Amino acid sequence: MTQALRLGIAGLGTVGVGVVKIIRRHADLLQARTGRPIEITAVSARNAKKDRGVNLSDYAWESDPVALAKRDDIDVFVELIGGENGPAKASVEAALASGKDVVTANKALLAIHGQELAEKAEAAGRVIRFEAAVAGGIPVIKSLTEGLAGNEIKRVMGVMNGTCNYILTRMQSQELGYNALFEECAELGYLEADPNLDVGGIDAAHKLALLSSIAFGTKPNFDGIQIEGIQQISLEDIHQADDMGYRIKLLGVAQRSARGLEQRMQPCLVPSTSALGQLEGGTNMVVIEGDSVEQVVLRGPGAGEGPTASAVMGDVCDLARGLQIPTFGRPATSLQDAQAAVTGLPAPYYVRLALFDKPGALAKVAAILGDAGVSIDRMRQYGHSESTAPVLIVTHKTTRATLDIALEGFSNADVVADEPVALRIEEV
């Protein structure tokens, strides 16, 4: 019989347990599809006595994931610990040094240390696979590195954090404010231990850094991503966007132009009739645009035991078949430094202001925009209160850098009562 592929799994949380379940439930199916048995040899987690709802007695136990990574009786180290440093990084490095391939769901680790680890894997003749690190059960990494390998990628964009999409779509459908929905997500367990990783856009930006590297042949550059969360979005913004035929999404976009590589994770307005605009709840969606294929839309569950474990097993099965692909789709030593765009490509912007209700305020706002070089497409006042007058402005195409000059001018003009909200209107 063909020799089994032996796994060591570090991290027995939701995803790790999901991987164990798949291997136990589908052993015959996995062997039929890969041509060899796939077995778990040893596992590691912080608490050996915890009831995880699955039988682990058949596997050797290691309290230290680094010790697990070095075992002679594993071929593939499956890292499901999480975190950009600490035991996750140390154990992955140990696995590569010990001649093991690595499968991981750790987006933060690869977004920050991916280049270094990819070079170590390449030097050792090993590979790192990470389908589960981006968009849960959606095979977006495989699509970029294999299915679309014949394309020059023009743009990658998508909704990559289910918690943010859940909040924004519930604001739309249930007329609930951001704060109420944030508390609801906390009660449902949808938020990371540090909620800012979700609502601040950091989690999704880690994912965008990885997709951008594969798409454009650059070293992962998390620090080069413009990141803005959804905390400032109000029901008023949801209503106004809807009235204009848009939905608000936390949208990640990576595209290269003559200006350089543009990478941003920020709330944007997208047409309500578009695939992204119709995306509901915790679902993820990634849109890939290539010169030959034009546009491909991938939609599916972005998190959870089953979807993420499914992605892990997709990578494991490829290794069982002997498929060897460089970490970011091409040799790590060939990846270029990302030349960040000095300014992003121009787009229309939605701007909401609360003006002090006094003569000349609106004229002063229009003058500040004009002096900055921002042209107004439409502007209207609505819903006066006793002291302020809300104003909605949609600009013609401009860059965010130019708009920021105007926003700074507002703060110095004594006419704007609150912090302005400025959202890009993305062409999708």
Of 207, 219, 364, 397, the active-site residue reads 207
CATH superfamily of domain region 349-425:
ACT domain (3.30.70.260)
What pLDDT score does 11 carry? Answer: 97
What pLDDT score does 401 carry? Answer: 93
**Location of structure tokens 């920020």:** 266
In this predicted model, what pLDDT tens digit does every residue of 172-209 receive, in sequence order? Answer: 999 989 999 999 988 888 888 889 999 999 999 999 99
5-133 and 141-301, same CATH topology: no
Match domain 5-133 to its CATH number in 3.40.640.10, 3.40.50.880, 3.90.79.10, 3.40.50.720. Answer: 3.40.50.720
Pairing mode, strands 294-301 and 226-227:
unpaired
Mention the CATH class of domain 141-301: alpha beta
In this predicted model, what pLDDT tens digit does every residue of 241-276 receive, in sequence order? Answer: 999 999 999 999 999 988 889 999 999 999 999 999
Q: Is 358 a catalytic residue?
A: no
192 is in an annotated binding site: yes
What pLDDT score does 64 carry? Answer: 97
What pLDDT score does 199 carry? Answer: 94
pTM: 0.94
What pLDDT score does 362 carry? Answer: 87
What pLDDT score does 412 carry? Answer: 83
* CB of 138 closer than 8 Å to CB of 302: yes
Mapped onto helix, strand or coil, the DSSP state of residue 118 is helix
The 10 Å CB-count burial string (b at 16+, else e) for 100-133 is bbbbbbbbbbbbbbbbebbbbbbeeebbbbbbbb
107 is in an annotated binding site: yes
Regions of the chain where pLDDT drops below 50: none
Domain parsing of the chain, residue ranges:
5-133, 141-301, 349-425
